Amino acid sequence: MSLLKKFFDFYIDASIHVALSVYSLAYISTYLLEISMDKNLAYFLFFGTIASYNFIKYGVEAKKYILVANKYHKNIQFVSFIALAIALYYGWFLTYNTWLVIIGLVLYVGLYTLPILPKAKNLRSLGGLKVFIVALVWSGATVILPVIAAKDIVYWDVIVEAIQRFILVLVLLIPFEIRDLQYDAPELRTIPQRYGATKTKIFGAFITVAFYFITFLKDHVSILDALSKGILFLTFGMLMLETGNAKKKYFASFWVEAIPIMWYAVILGLSYFI
C-alpha cells in the first residue's frame, strides 16, 4: 500500500495528472467545436504540460532546476526532460501557424516564471494576476491551439468557448488559492488574501453561473454542449460547497484537477447517445 501511495504521489507531483486534464480539455474543444484533433498536438500538449508545469513548480530559478540534490526531485527532473524530448518530437509535425501560437504561450509562461521585471520577480509575483495568467494560458492551449491545428479560423463560437475555458480554469483555481492562503507571501495579494475565503467562494459561485449561461451566446449550441456544461455547472456548484475542504491533502491536487478528465468522460458517454 505504501508503494502504491508513492506512485500516486509521484503521479501528482510530476504533473502527470494536470497533463491529463490539459489533454482532456483539448479533446473537449474538438467535440464542442466539431473539429478534428491533430494527434501530434494532443501528445505535444500532454508531454509539454509535464515539462512546463514541473519547471514552474520546481525551477523558478533555472540553476535550481539543473542542480538537483533531492533524489525524489531528480526523478521528477528525469521525467520532465524525457517529456520535453517527446513533446519536441511531436512538435516537429505541427504546422507553422500552430507553432506561432505555441511560441506566444511559451513566452507568456516564461514571463510568468522567470525574473524579468525590475520591480517584481516575475508576472507570477504581481499581486492578484496569477490566476488570470494561468487561466489565459490554459484557454489558449486547449481552445485556440486545437482550432489553429485543425486549420480552422477563430470564429465567434471559438471566442465564446475560449472565454468559458478561461472562466472554468478560474473556478478550478479557487480551491488552490484558498488552500495556499496561509502559505502565500502577503505581497502576492491573491483573491482570498484580498477578500477572504468566503467572498472568494461567492465570486466562484457567481462566475460558475456566468460560465454556463455564456454557452447560449454561441451561434450554434449543440445538445452535447448544453447538456455536458449543465453537468459541469452542477459539479462546480458542489465544488464551491466543498471548497472548505481545500486544505485536505488530495482535494485540490487530485479531485479538483480531475474535473476536466471527468468532463471529458461525460462528453464521451453522452456522444454515444446524442
Q: How far apart are CA 113 and CA 52, in angstroms?
A: 10
Which of 15-19, 118-122, 170-174, 187-191 has maximum average pLDDT? 15-19
Mean pLDDT, rounded, of the chain: 86
Looking at residue 59, its pLDDT comes to 64
Give yes or no for residue 222 having a pLDDT over 80. Answer: yes
Tens digit of pLDDT for each residue in 159-169?
Answer: 999 999 999 99
The Cα–Cα gap between 190 and 222 comes to: 36
Give 249 or 171, the one with higher predicted confidence: 171
Is 49 a residue whose pLDDT tops 60? yes
pTM for the model stands at 0.90
- pLDDT, tens digit, 9 for 90 and up, residues 109-161: 776 666 555 455 555 555 567 788 889 999 999 999 999 999 888 899 999 99
Distance CA 233, CA 272 (A): 21
Q: When comparing pLDDT for 174 and 16, which is higher?
A: 16
Q: Say what the pLDDT of residue 241 is.
A: 78
